[in-house]
Each structure stands twice: as C-alpha cells, then as structure tokens.
C-alpha cells in the first residue's frame, strides 16, 4: 500500500527546498558581483565538446571585472553591505543543504 499523502509531502518539501537553495545562491552571486568581487574561473582541461577558455581570455575577463568594480557607483559601505549579504545568502544555502541531509539521516 502506497501512502500518497507522504509522497506528496516529500515532493513538495523537495521542490520548495531546491527552489530556496537556487534562489539564495542566485541572490548571493548577484550581491557578490555587486560588491565588486566578480568570480572569474580559471581555465580547466576538458575533453571532447566542452569549450575551454584560453589564458588570454581569462586575463581579459579578469581585467573587465576589475574595471567594472572600479566603475561601480556604490560607496564602500554599500559594497561591504552587499558582500555581507552575499555571504549571508551562501550561509543560508549551506544551512538548507545541511538541514536537508540531517532530516534524511536523523529524521527517521
């Protein structure tokens, strides 16, 4: 016998949890860029159809990120507040993931 109500509860909890994690991560990334700390990823070696950026493209992206950070109209306090908000959003993501794991492991 399948308990359909429990199935729906788990489905809704997973949907809400994943949406919350993605939302907090996206807001955190946006605040991180707004604070002038745009993440620049170094090139990696992949095989087959994945495009790899060159060192020249990486340097150009880093230069553009630094230039955009200098042009920011935000004050130092606003940048610091954005950075703290970004760290807070990333912390909420971590808390959501850890609590989900704890519910699975300990909640039974």
Domain count, the chain: 1
Residue 54 has pLDDT above 80, yes or no: no
**Sign of the dihedral through C-alpha 93, 51, 68, 65:** positive
Ordered DSSP codes for 55-94: HHHHHHHHHHHHHHHHT----HHHHHHHHHHHHHHHHHHH
Q: Chain-wide mean pLDDT for the chain? A: 84
Residue 65 has pLDDT above 80, yes or no: no
Residue 49 has pLDDT above 60, yes or no: no
Domain residues for the domain of 90 are 4-39+48-106
51-63: average pLDDT: 79
């Amino acid at each position: 016998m399948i308990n359909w109500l429990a199935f729906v509860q788990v489905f809704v909890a997973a949907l809400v949890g994943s949406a919350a994690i993605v939302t907090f991560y996206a807001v955190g990334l946006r605040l991180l860029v707004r604070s002038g700390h745009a993440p620049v990823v170094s090139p990696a070696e992949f095989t087959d159809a994945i495009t790899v950026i060159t060192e020249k493209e990486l340097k150009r992206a880093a230069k553009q990120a630094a230039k955009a950070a200098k042009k920011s109209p935000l004050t130092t306090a606003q940048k610091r507040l954005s950075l703290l908000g970004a760290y807070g959003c990333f912390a909420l993501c971590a808390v959501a993931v850890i609590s989900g794991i704890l519910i699975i492991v300990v909640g039974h």
